[in-house]
Amino acid sequence: MITQAVEIKILGKVMRVNCPSGQEEALVTAAEDFDQRLHELSERTKVTNTEQLLTIAALNVCNELHAERAKSDSEKELMKQRIDLLQQSIEAALQKHSARHEA
């Protein structure tokens, strides 16, 4: 896998991060989002300790990720139920159609 060094800025600190080629824009966008979240969190909580701020932000991101996964799992289950119901309806219609033609 070919990687590319990309400069990002988090809390005013510039760092170079390796990233797969073609993903540079996604990394920069993610870094900008994370930086914005950190600034907003710092303003909202008045936490100035960088380590605490990063820990709180990481916990918030993980919580959001878990919530989205649960939502996705719930939507998948609902879609499966709908597909099963549709399949049952199709099978019933085919049996009804077949029974009419046999009679």
- 4 and 36 together in one domain: yes
- 27 and 75 together in one domain: no
- 56 and 94 together in one domain: yes
- 42 and 58 together in one domain: no
**H or E segment at 45?**
helix 24-45
**H or E segment at 96?**
helix 50-102
Give pTM, 2 decimals.
0.71
User: Which range of residues forms the domain containing residue 101?
Assistant: 49-103
Confidence of residue 98 (pLDDT cuts 50, 70, 90): confident
Task: Give the pLDDT of residue 101.
Answer: 79
pLDDT > 70? residue 103? no
- 74 and 99 together in one domain: yes
Number of structural domains the chain divides into: 2
- 37 and 53 together in one domain: no
- 54 and 98 together in one domain: yes
